[in-house]
Structure 1
Amino acid sequence: MTDLLYSEEEEALRSAVRDLLADHCDAPGVIARTESDAPHDLAAWKALTDGMGLAGLLVPEAQGGQGATHREVAVVLEELGRSVAPVPYLTSAVVATEALLECGDEELLVRLASGRTIGALAVGLHTAPGADFTSVRIEDGSLHGELTGIADAAIADVLLVPAEDGGLYAVQASSVTVTPQVSLDLTRPLATVTLTGAPGRRLGDAAPAVRRALRAGAGLLASEQLGLAEWALTETVRYLKDRKQFNRPVGGFQALKHRLAQLWLEVVNLRAAARNAADALGGGQPAEETALAVAVAQAYAAPVAVRAAEEALQLHGGIGMTWEHPVHLALKRAKADSIAYGTAGAHREALAELVDLRAP
């Protein structure tokens, strides 16, 4: 039976990442970045990559990585979710890296593992694993087309672009036009990528690479949502212990106790689902079992993360409605994550197909 408990090494990794983020991604700093033209925190990214080598966790040691598993990556994402860190970890160190691992491109893998090169898969953030995705056309050996909803494209150095010939191409970001889109989550901005005669290097077949990348992204996104939900619950409990009404702590009122107890149960269940998805992705299980674990995690994770953030906003009262309080960052990230890599409904449909419980 699989042990989903955190190992000593994973707890040590969590502690190190949490300490680093406390120094680099405090709430006032993240909020200030959302008001600027540079929402990404490159100092935090450099500390995570150069300082700790976390960009290469999924990359084999032979390609300059750490040769770790998805379980360690999940721990990192939990902490990034807790702080709503504006770094391209999920898009570069997970999704783009998984696509390159499928294609077997060692040169780019080495660059992404170092963190000095940031990659982005040029597929809309809303795309679910196994769903159709937009490809660009090829004319005279160069790439032409427009791709929308690309997460972290504004900070990427290289884009992995699917083309109509079935190939996945590496395209330098300097050769395309990146236009920011209005995004609810300002810590993970979206953009439209326009290619007009952009040169590209074919890496391999797009379909299996995109499918693998999106499955890993969806499965490990649940860990980010778990971290966010745990932060919302913890901060709400802390606030209700301190806040007083009628000369007694607000948290002592039975109605609020019931709401928090119900949320705690949902977060505990989310932890189990997220850990199972991370373990399945890195455990060499059959593809169908991995797909099942990912579908279960995402079908459950999005509603819980959104509810946790909404409860935090409501139970913080007036202070929770202010721009200065970080709960709005969590709510926006939870809402944006709820449609990233497929909605909960899309994953429930996939789950029904996998277990042969299709609707009549």
Structure 2
Amino acid sequence: ATGADGYGLYAVETAETSVTVEPLISLDLTRPLAAVTLTGAPARRLAGPDRAAAAIGRALLTGAGLLASEQLGVAEWCLTETVRHTKERHQFGRPIGSFQALKHRMAALWLDLVSARATARYAADALATDSPDTPVAVAVAQAHCAEVAVRAAEECVQLHGGIGMTWEHPAHLYLKRAKADEIALGTPGRHRQALAGLVDLAAPMG
């Protein structure tokens, strides 16, 4: 928040009567969200203008970097589950996974997943070692892993056919998590824009 002496980071107790926490209906119901309203709530300052912005920036960078690992996990589950299903589901007397068109879709997804694993691991390593490349590593990981997770979840739903569209199958939960993660700490486009600035790559003209 901005105070009399500039930007600051503050802690507020949610038990205060001047703090209202209103639950929101989110796309991913397994990850609750809420709107927090402060009305003259007492606060304890944790950091002043000299440290607050850097602390929040670091927290958001760390969160985005680690979120890439969750997105990788979503994509891996979706591909593994889809491969299992296409081996067991038979049509025309043979597993649907033996059809060339489905093989190509799963192979393309596997290649995307390999790249996502590399970027997510590098971002995590950069954060753990406090590497100077951390901002670039996180931007690359988020720009790629977010889209791979969504694509893997969409393929999981589609390649499961009718069962993939039902509430009884967990595929829809992974799709909702992937879509929620995609915008949680910056969209892929926002991270690509940040990456362009970090590597001094000018935006296209016109």
- TM-score computed with the length of structure 1 as normaliser: 0.54
Does 2:87 correspond to 1:244? no
Distance in 1 between the 2:107 and 2:197 partners? Answer: 33
2:21 corresponds, among 153, 175, 178, to: 178
Could you tell me which residue of structure 2 aligns to residue 277 of structure 1? 123
Distance in 2 between the 1:308 and 1:188 partners? Answer: 20
Could you tell me which residue of structure 1 aligns to residue 79 of structure 2? 233
In percent, how many aligned pairs have the same letter?
69
Does 2:39 correspond to 1:196? yes
Does 2:15 correspond to 1:169? no
Letter of the aligned partner of 1:246 in structure 2?
F
Does 2:65 correspond to 1:219? yes
Runs of 5+ in structure 1 lacking a partner? 1-134, 139-163
1:179 is displaced (CA, Å) by 0.6
Give 1:44-193 correspondences, 5 Å limit.
135=1, 165-175=6-16, 176-193=19-36
2:40 alignment partner, SS class = strand
Could you tell me which residue of structure 2 aligns to residue 299 of structure 1? 143
1:167 is displaced (CA, Å) by 1.2
* Aligned alpha-carbon RMSD (Å): 1.4
How many pairs are equivalent?
199
Runs of 5+ in structure 2 lacking a partner? none
Letter of the aligned partner of 1:207 in structure 2?
A
Letter of the aligned partner of 1:304 in structure 2?
V
Could you tell me which residue of structure 1 aligns to residue 175 of structure 2? 331
Q: Are the aligned partners of 2:2 and 2:8 in contact in 1 as well (CA < 8 Å)?
A: no
- TM-score computed with the length of structure 2 as normaliser: 0.93
Could you tell me which residue of structure 2 aligns to residue 318 of structure 1? 162
Letter of the aligned partner of 2:15 in structure 1?
S
1:347 alignment partner, SS class = helix
Distance in 2 between the 1:215 and 1:280 partners? Answer: 11
Query: Higher relative contact order at CA 8 Å, sep ≥6: structure 1 or structure 2?
Result: 2
Letter of the aligned partner of 1:338 in structure 2?
E
2:183 alignment partner, SS class = coil
The 1:136/1:188 distance shift into structure 2, 3 A limit, reads farther
Distance in 2 between the 1:323 and 1:240 partners? Answer: 19
1:282 is displaced (CA, Å) by 1.0
Distance in 2 between the 1:197 and 1:217 partners? Answer: 29
1:178 alignment partner, SS class = strand
1:328 alignment partner, SS class = helix
1:316 is displaced (CA, Å) by 0.4
Distance in 2 between the 1:253 and 1:284 partners? Answer: 46
Could you tell me which residue of structure 2 aligns to residue 124 of structure 1? none
